[in-house]
Structures are given as C-alpha cells and as structure tokens.
Amino acid sequence: MRAIGKNRYKLLITDIDPEAPEKYKRSGVLRECGFDINGHAMSQRIALRYVRGVKVDLVIFREKLPEMDSAAFTSELSAIRNAPVCIVIGSGDPHTIRECFLNGAVDYLTEPVSEQQIRDALQRAAENIRSTEATGDYTDTVREYFAELSEISEDPEFLKKIQAYITENEGAVVSTQDAAEHFGFNKDYFGRMFRKRMGMTFGEFYKRFRMRYAVKLLLSGRYKVGEISRMLGFATADYFTAEFHKYTGKRPLEVKNRK
C-alpha cells in the first residue's frame, strides 16, 4: 500500500508498555501506511482525555491495560464527537470482540500479532478514515452549493427536496430519469418542471455539483486524479479531465497543485 499522499494521519498508541511507540517506529509499517505517532497513553482514561482534546485519526488499543475492558473503552471512544477509528489488540472472547466491532472498531487483532496483520489493519483503518473524510467533503459541497442556489430559487420547498435527494445519493451517479422516478414523475415532465423552477436542466445542475465536489476533493490533497474520477463515476480519468476542463477551464492537476 502506498503512503497516503501529503496528508498523513495521526495515531494515538494506548498501551501499558512504555516502549510501544519505539517498537512501532522500528517496524516502519506505520510510516508505510501513512500514519505518524501523535501520542502515547498508558491508560484508557488518559487516552480518552487525549482524544477529547486533540484531533487523532486512529487509536491502537492494547487490551492489557487497567481501568476498563476493550468493549467499555471502544464504547466510550465512539461517543466522542468526531471519534477516531480504533484497532484493538487482545485475546478477548467472541462476545468482547463482537462488542468492539459494534462500537465501531475497524479491526480486532488476536495476539500474537504479526507485522503483516498490523499492516492489513492499518490499510483498513486508512480506507475507513478516507471514506469518512470524503463524506465530509461531500456534505460540505452539498451545503455550499445549495446555499448559493437558495439565493436564485423561488421555490425553497422544492430545493429542500432536491438537496435531500442529492445528500442521500453520495457515491452514486444519478440521471434525470433517476430523479424523476424518485419523485414520482415521468422524465419529460420532471425535466420541464426542474428547468422552470431552477433555471437550468437537471443535467446542468448535477454536472455543476459534481464539478464543485471534484474541486473540493482535489484541493484536499488526499486523492489522485484517477481516484477522484472513480469516486465521481467517470468511465476513465481522461473523460473526467476533459469534462472538468470544460467546466472550470483548468485541468484537475492545475487545481490539485494549487495547494
């Protein structure tokens, strides 16, 4: 797995072993997967206080700690706003392991743990973090785009329904036909109604939204152009680049390198 571009992720190690951070550093697997150690907590309470005060992307929690078991720890961790993902290392019974996953743990590794197992878990954690970040970018784009549209739309109720529909369809590519069926109209009627109320066709509206989302993803610095192309549902990166250039007058790399 490649390192995660310019944006690296912050890791809190929660382990009673004072040498734990150095052991991870020596293996090189953290850096390889895009993680940097941001802190080391030797108890669960310290870890929870740390996460409440400092932005952390991942917690690696080793069960051999006092105060509370892994199920209780992952439960409290998940209740924190913008909680990091968590990898648990231990030897718990099936019930404990299940509780950890229900509380949002991205992985549970049973000791003894190999370097490859850690690598695989870190890869899953990185993908989970990236997915969460993309959802945040999507939500922000929806909010910003519709805030602008509200200034020109004369039908706020219709706009709210369209916004809810777009919000629900993250990760999908929707067409005028899809939207028409969702709202219970035939395609032609919906197309005319949409244009009358929004001053543009649904296709124009949706293309503008997708390009706005593409700009936000590019500026985040977390993704390659090919990755963004796939996220937006384009058949090829070349097609995405051509459409992006038509809309913005720039090529994706020009925007990405503007950071």
Name the pTM for this structure. Answer: 0.74
Query: Which three-class secondary structure state does DSSP give residue 195?
Result: helix
How confident is the model over 204-259, as pLDDT tens digits? 999 999 999 999 999 988 888 999 999 999 999 999 999 999 999 999 999 987 75
Angle CA(104)–CA(47)–CA(116) in degrees, nearest 5? 60
Which ranges of 54-186 does DSSP label H, i.e. alpha helix? 70-78, 94-102, 115-149, 156-168, 176-183
| H or E stretch at 32 | helix 29-32
What phi and psi values does residue 258 have, to the nearest 5 degrees? -75, -15
Which domains, ranges and CATH numbers included, belong to the chain? Answer: 9-129 (3.40.50.2300), 133-256 (1.10.10.60)
How confident is the model over 110-139, as pLDDT tens digits? 989 999 999 999 999 998 998 888 899 999
